Each structure stands twice: as structure tokens, then as C-alpha cells.
Amino acid sequence: MTTRTIRARDRPVFGVDVQSGDVRGDGPSYALVVLDPVDADDPDAPDTDVPVARITRDVVSLRKLRRLVDDREPLYLATDNAYELAADKNALVNLLRSLPDGTRLVQVTGAERPEPLSRVASRHGIPYGKDPMEEAEAAARLAAADVGHEVTAFTDETTVKVSRGRSTGKGGWSQDRYTRRIHGNVKKRSRQVESKLRSANLEYEREVTEKYGGYSSAVFTVAARPEDIPISNSRAGDVRVALERERRDGIEYEPLVKRRDRVIVGIDPGTTTGVAVVGLDGTVHEVYSSRTADTAAVTEWIVEQGRPIIVAADVEPMPETVEKFRRSFDAAGWRPTTDLPVDEKLHRTREAGYDNDHERDALAAALYAYDDHADQFERIAAKTPPRLDREAVIAGVVAGGASVEAVVADLRDDSNGDGGDEDDGGSGPTEPERTEEEETIRRLRDRVDRLESHTEALAGTIEERDERIDELEAALEEAKRQERIEARSRRIVSRLERETDRLERERDDARETVAELEGKVESLKELWKLDHSNFADVAGGRDLVSVKVVEQFTHDAIAATAEAYGIAAGDVVYLRDASGAGRRTAERLAAHEPRAVIRDGNLSDVADQTLFDASVPVVPAESVPVREVDELAVAGEARLRAAIEEWEERAERRDRAERAERLDRIISEHRAGTRLPQTEE
């Protein structure tokens, strides 16, 4: 950060230029130059009566820049292109809305068609360099000299709205009184606002919305900027006051001051009058055409653009109307040796904008007049002392017909006398009058010199462009190389990601396989515990028998137990819930040929008969208690054997009973069959 002093005003001026990045991308940084006023009482201030300012340089982010603007509230935020601070029109409007009252965004290079900053700085004698910090300083210096256009999206009208600061609510026993109080406070505050506007002699229009007890809102449209209105945004209790500038239809550019620089004016008279204004550096300022404007209106428009020192026409001889304008401005006249051809006018105005042929012809006349005097302007500027107004000297020589020395002497006398800056042409010796042939020769020589200078400038431009092309090509090759490296890296990353996905899938499959095998191992362990020959170790030397547990007497439960533990012939099966089974379920269980079935609950008659027919002993859990130890279920061998023997005895009695019943049924059927014929007789 560096600091020095220059001339300045009472408020700081910020100049900015993009240091790196882009506002449309990520993280732009800006070169910032602040022209900060120095207090006359400051011991570090220079010993001079001229107001000075301290230059502060820094590189900041966009966020820090906006924070500094809010904190310091500079008079101008100057840049060579407003869209370096905003990505698009909407962002630019938001930026303008966020600026403090009194801070203006200034584009120092012009309006919609800005000039190069180097040209503007050169025209106003401001130091310029291509470094962003130097460009930011040039922008700040130009804005401090009131050069440039204010970028605005708002008019000079401001809306002051006084409204309710809180809701009136949904109701209640005191709702009417509450609503009346709020509306009354809004009305009272709106009257205070109106009184302040009157005291400040501001023009305004008022529109109120009356509600129960007073106003719900009052809107004042004031013909002033927010900084000129003695009211600020506020919110207190029941009332809120908000200021908002009126939006324009788009973005507009307004000159900071109405400057009256010396200019060259081209005029194309006729039914439609075309007028063009060109600066002494060849910059096109404005073009204008009208079918209805009279001489006075055209003159007024020209006066608004500047002070003409040359009035030009595109035909020979100069039309009388153009001559009248020349005399009214006391300017020099210019006309071509022959009428300018249309193709030459089209070529000369190809880089400028115009709306019709009349504006084109006027613009061509002004530009050719500039071409014819460009070398003369340079010679005069070279002879002009640094502290004098070069444009004033050029005007005195070209329009007044005086020598450079005489005009310089006059301007020095004026500055030493009353300090006026108007030049009356001087009273020194004039150049000897030339013949028409000498004037033609002079003009042709000037044109040759100008064309040679232009050729050299174009050659320099071509060389610069070639160098720039080489730089861009080198940058392009580097970018392509980086892109190839990145593409190769992306391919490697993609291949590794695919390999990683494949390995993760294999890992997941392996984990599933391990889980499945672990389940099988656990099942095998349980089977071993149940069926291994050393079950006595598990039983602990006690008279126990292993039991296979079936949760319910269903197909699925039998299948689950068979899959998990296996049900072999001679196993003891324990039914936790023996109810609900049918013939097919009982047949499914009997097919495993269990040694016995311990039931908890009652079997259905069908299932009981099916198991009985299959000679499968079914004993109640009350007779043979089942105990579960970890994954094992065991029962006492003695109790089981006693229960089976008891079942066998019941089965034998049941079998004898069934045989007797069958025998009785057969005898009964036989007797019924022998009696039937006697009955028929």
C-alpha cells in the first residue's frame, strides 16, 4: 500500500479496475485507489493553500470493496466500465440500489459507447498506464475532475412510504381500539413527514389510504434524491417509513457536468437536417437529425454539445445554411475540394453509429475536417505550455486565425489578469494570406503527412496485434496442454473409480457369502451339539434326550426346523403350538418318523388320528417337561420313556376299542343285510 498527495475535494473518490478474475466467475479482485481529503490541520498536510488529497492504493475483493463503500461513502465510485462490478443488468441495478445515498457510480470513459481509457486520460492530461492500479488511479483522477457519466437506474424522484409497522391482528375484545391506535399513529407520522418536506421546499405529491381511525399508508412522491430529503428509513412501534428511488426503464448514463469542450461540427442541411459533433481528438460525441427543428433549435442543440471551432460540409461549395451556422459560432469553415463520394463517406463512418443518410453525411464532413486538421492540432498541442488549455489554444489558432505564440500570450495575460478562460482569438500577428494553389498544396501535404502518420500508427497497431496474437496462441497452447493433462487425469480417475466400484461389489458379495457360510457353520454346530455322539458332555451326565423345537404345527414351521437343525428318524419333536394342524401337516411330520411328539396344546382330531395311524407317540408337555439351554432343548429320558409307554398302553386300548367297534359295525351291517329280504316279502 502506498500513499502520496494530490489535489482533491472534500469527500473521497474511489477508482477501481479489475486486478484478477472476473465478476462473472469466482472471486474477482480489484485494484482500488482512494483519493482521500487531507484536513488542513493535519500536521502531515503540505504547506499550501491548494486543497490536497492522499492517494491510497490497495487490492481488495468485491465484498471488501462494497464494505469500504458503505463505510466511507465516497462521492464517486469510478471505473472505466460499470460491468466490471456487475455480471449483468440486474446485478448492476442491485449494485446501484445498494450504494449509500450521495455515492455515484461513474463510468469515466463515456456512455453506452465508451472510449478507451487511455484516450480519455490523454485528452484531459491525466497520467495513464496499462497496469490495473494505474488504470484505477486514472479513473479516480478523471472522476475527481468531473469527467465521465453517472451510471443510474433511478430517476431523481423518490417515494417516501409511511405505513403500518405491525399487523392489526385477527381480532379480540380490544381489536377496534388497537387498530384505531395504529392507523392514528400512521396518520400522525405522515403529517410529520409532510411538514419536513414543506420545510425543505421540496415538491411532492401525496396519496393516502384512509382506514378506521386514520391512515393505513401514505405515499409521497418527492422530486429529489434520497440524500436531499430530510427523512430516513425508520421503524418505530406502529409505523414504518421507507424511502425508495423510482426505477427507470433501463440503465442510463448522465454526464457529471455539462461540459462545453471545443468541437468540430458537421452539418448536412435539407428537408431533414443532420448534425454531427466530433472532438478535437477525432472522437464522435453525438449525432442528431430532425425534420421539424428550425435553425434556432439546431443551434441550441449544438451549444449543448460544445463550442464549435470548425463547421464542416460534405459538398463544394459550402451551402448557405452551413455558412450561416459557421458565422453564428465565429468558427472556421471546412469543405472538400469536390463533393465527397458516398463510398468514401461510408468507409470513413464505418466504425461510428448513425440512424440515417443525413447523419452519415454530417458525420463524414466532421471526420474529414478532423483528418484535415489533425496534424495541425498536434503541432499546436506540442507548442502549448503544459499549464495552458490546449483546446483554447487550438481554437484561437484555427478559428481566430492567430499564431500559437499570440494565443498563448493572450491566455497567459488572461490568467494573470481576470482569470477568464474564454479566448477571443488574440491580437498578435497573423500568418500571411496564401493563394488558393498554395492552400491546396498545404492541404495535400498535410494530408500526406497525416496518411503517413496514420500508416505508421496502423503498422504499430498491427505489430501490437501480432504480439497479442502470439501471446494468445501461446496461452491457448498452454490451456490445451492443461486441458489434455486434466482430461488424462479425469480418465485415470474414472478408471480407478470403476475399479473401486468393482472391488466394492466383490467385497459386498464376499461379505454376503461369509455371512451365509457363518450361518451354515452355526447350524452345523447346533446339529453337532444335538446329534454328536458325545451329547452326554452337553447333558452333563444326566439322563437327557435332545428335542427339536417346532414353533407351530404348520408346514412352514416344520420346514424351518428341518432346514435349520434337521429332523431325522428317531428324533423327539416338540410342538410349541399343536393346534390348527390338518391331515397333510400331520402326514408331513409323520414322514420324518420321529420317536415321539411332545405337544403343547390340543391336537385336532384329524391330526391326532393321522399320527396315531402312523404309530407316532404324542405325549403332552405336562408329562414330559422340555427345558431349553442356549440353543438346545432337552427332556428327561425317563419321563419321555414313561410317557411313551403310557401312550402305547392307551394306543393298545384304543386299538382294541377301535377293533371292537369295527367288529360291532360289521355284525350290525350283516344283521341288517339278512333282515332286509324278509322285510321285502
Residues 423-443: pLDDT tens digits? 433 333 334 444 667 667 766
Report the relative pairing of strands 572-575 and 104-107 from DSSP bridges: unpaired
Q: C-alpha grid cell for residue 188?
A: 400522525
Q: Is the pLDDT of residue 608 over 90?
A: no
Q: What is the pLDDT of residues 432-483, one digit of tens each?
A: 444 667 667 766 776 776 677 667 767 777 887 888 898 899 899 999 999 9
By mean pLDDT, which of 176-180, 264-268, 508-512, 541-545 is the weakest? Answer: 541-545
The listed CATH number (3.30.420.10, 3.30.1360.70, 3.40.190.10, 3.30.230.10) that belongs to domain 262-383: 3.30.420.10
Where does 616-663 show beta strands of DSSP type E?
Answer: 618-620, 626-629, 632-636
* Cα separation values, 564 from 521, 557, 561, 635, Å: 11, 11, 5, 20
Assign 510 a pLDDT band (cuts: 50, 70, 90).
very high
- Tell me the torsion sign for CA atoms 447, 448, 453, 459: positive
The listed CATH number (3.40.50, 3.40.630, 1.20.1440, 3.30.70) that belongs to domain 156-255: 3.30.70
Question: How many angstroms separate the CA atoms of 218 and 209, rounded?
Answer: 6
Q: Is the pLDDT of residue 50 over 70?
A: no
Question: How many angstroms separate the CA atoms of 282 and 263, rounded?
Answer: 9
**pLDDT score for 371:** 92
Burial degree of 359 (CB within 10 A; 0-12, 13-18, 19+)? buried
Side-chain-side CA neighbours of 592 within 13 Å: the count stands at 22
Q: C-alpha grid cell for residue 47?
A: 504547506
Query: At 74, is the secondary structure helix, strand, or coil?
Result: coil
**pLDDT score for 68:** 93
* Cα separation values, 127 from 123, 215, 425, Å: 10, 58, 30
Q: C-alpha grid cell for residue 15?
A: 477508482
Question: How many angstroms separate the CA atoms of 661 and 664, rounded?
Answer: 5
Question: How many angstroms separate the CA atoms of 71 and 99, rounded?
Answer: 11
Other beta carbons within 10 Å of 79: 28
**pLDDT score for 456:** 72
- Nearest partner of 593 among 575, 573, 608, 619, judged by Cα: 573
Long-range contacts from 562-567, C-beta under 8 angstroms, 24+ separation: 562/592, 564/523, 564/526, 565/523, 565/526, 565/527, 565/530, 566/527, 566/531, 567/592, 567/594
> Which has the higher per-residue pLDDT, 125 or 359?
359
What residue type is 205 in one-letter code?
Answer: E
Contact of 431 with 438, CB cutoff 8 Å: no
- Nearest partner of 572 among 527, 618, 526, 622, judged by Cα: 618
Contact of 152 with 254, CB cutoff 8 Å: yes
Q: Taking residues 524-550, what's their average pLDDT?
A: 63
Instruction: Kindly report the CATH class assigned to 3-147.
Output: alpha beta
**pLDDT score for 671:** 80
By mean pLDDT, which of 109-123, 318-332, 539-553 is the weakest? Answer: 539-553
Question: How many angstroms separate the CA atoms of 410 and 513, rounded?
Answer: 106
Say which DSSP state 597 is in: E
Sheet of 572-575: strand order equals 618-620, 596-599, 572-575, 544-550, 632-636, 626-629
Angle CA 120–113–289, to nearest 5: 110
- Tell me the torsion sign for CA atoms 460, 466, 472, 475: negative
- Nearest partner of 563 among 548, 574, 553, 552, judged by Cα: 548
What residue type is 239 in one-letter code?
Answer: V
**pLDDT score for 124:** 76
What residue type is 63 in one-letter code?
Answer: R
Q: What is the pLDDT of residues 152-178, one digit of tens each?
A: 888 878 899 999 877 776 545 466 788
Percentage, residues of the chain above pLDDT 70: 84
Contact of 348 with 282, CB cutoff 8 Å: no
pTM over 0.85: no
